[in-house]
Each structure stands twice: as C-alpha cells, then as structure tokens.
Amino acid sequence: MKKLTLDKILQSQGFGTRKGCRQLILQGDVAVEGRTVTECDEPFHPEGLSLSVMGEQWTCSQFVYLALNKPPHFECSRKPSHHPGVLTLLPEQFRWRDVQPVGRLDHDTTGLLLLSDDGAFIHAQSSPKRHVPKVYVATTHDPLTPAQLGLLNEGVQLIDEPAPIAGKARQLDTHCLEIVLEQGKYHQVKRMLAAAGNHCSALRRTAIGGLTLESLSLAQGEWCYLTPAQRAQLVP
C-alpha cells in the first residue's frame, strides 16, 4: 500500500473532515508510533500504523470488522426513527468512516450483530446464496408443544412467501427454543412462531456461522474487533 499524508490517514480512519484532521495535527494532538507529529503532509504507510489522537490509541486499517452484543430498544439503521441507532454504541470514528450493520435485528431483538465498512464483507454475510447459518434463542408466550416444534422443522407457510419455510429447531425449556436459519426474512422467527401457533416474547441471536456470542464474552452494549480467525468462522 502506498504512503499517504497524515491528514489523509486520519480522515480515512474517521477522525473528522480533512480540515479538522489537519487542525488536530497542528495542535500537537497526534502521535505516530509514539512520536508527536505536527506536519500534516508527512507521509506514512497507513496499514497497521499505531496512532495516538488526543490520547486515544488507534491502529490504522483499511477496513474494520466489529461484533456487538446488541441491547434491546436500539435500531439497526443509520437513520433510526423511534429508538437510538446501534451506531451510537460505537466510538464516533466508526460513524465518520461509514461503518454499518451487517443485516438487521429488530429493535427489541438482542444478541450478536456484525458491523463493517467493507462492502464485500457485508455482501458476503448478507447474501442468501452464501447460506450463512444464524442461531436464535426464542422465548415463547405459551408452552411449546411437540406439534409446534414439528411444524418449525418441517416448514410453515408465511404470508407473501411462495413456499413453506423451515428451520432447525430444538426445545431448550418449556417456553424456550433454539432455531437455526439460513434465510433472512423480515421478522422471520416471530412470524414462524406465530404460524406454528405460538408467540415470540423475546428473541436473541447467539451465533453467526461458527462465531458464537458466548466466545466473544461481550456484555450487552459492548463491542470488539473481529480477528482474522474469528472472521474465518463466519462464512462457510
């Protein structure tokens, strides 16, 4: 990767406009590999570069890949309408560099959510052709019955869908089940449970591909960078 001037590097990492980034440098608020730099046009190789911006440590990367344990009552939208957006749970730099959710969880659904500014990665994770399995744990209003589990596994007919849709469901408790889906239909788990004769009162996504929320050890509202090894678990 070719060298870029420090102001362009800061802008690419989401530290503001070009003018704002230059001001940070001129004020002495930026250090590169431990050395304060006050020349905006000093060039560096950006990938992996260690920065300190106003005391905050940052490692440069062309793209970022994040996992978030989404709390309830947050919208997976860059323009939320009724609740705060999940991007408000991240540092402001990520919003500047156009990080966005990979797919969506309903505002009242919790659990594992991926975010990135890499369009190819977002497409790979979102495309139904890739058949990335996603695991959900649903709490039901009424006790689960064997007949309802059978319908979920065999397929239920949803409105506006041409054919029945099935998941891999197993009961965890009287009012709780795990279901694995490879589609990404609107309100899919909730609609499937309704079609099977029950009602979803709470929903949490616990895994995407081979990446589990448990392995990330994130409390609700917490986020982390994904390592290359963790990203490799996402796409079969």
Q: Which residues are catalytically annotated?
A: 106
What residues pair up with 113 in beta bridges, in sequence order? Answer: 68
Residue 125 burial (C-beta neighbours within 10 Å; 0-12, 13-18, 19+): buried
Q: Label residue 185 exposed, middle or buried (CB < 10 Å: 0-12, 13-18, 19+).
A: middle
Residue 86 makes CB contacts below 8 A (sequence gap 6+) with: 68, 70, 74, 75, 76, 101, 113, 115
Degrees, nearest 5: CA angle 236-200-223: 50
Phi (first) and psi of residue 100, to 5 degrees = -140, 155
* Structure token pair of residue 109: 């659904």
124 three-class SS: helix
Asked whether the beta carbons of 112 and 29 are under 8 A apart, the reply is no
CA-based nearest residue to 224, from 114, 61, 88: 114
Beta strands 4-5 and 134-140, pairing class: unpaired
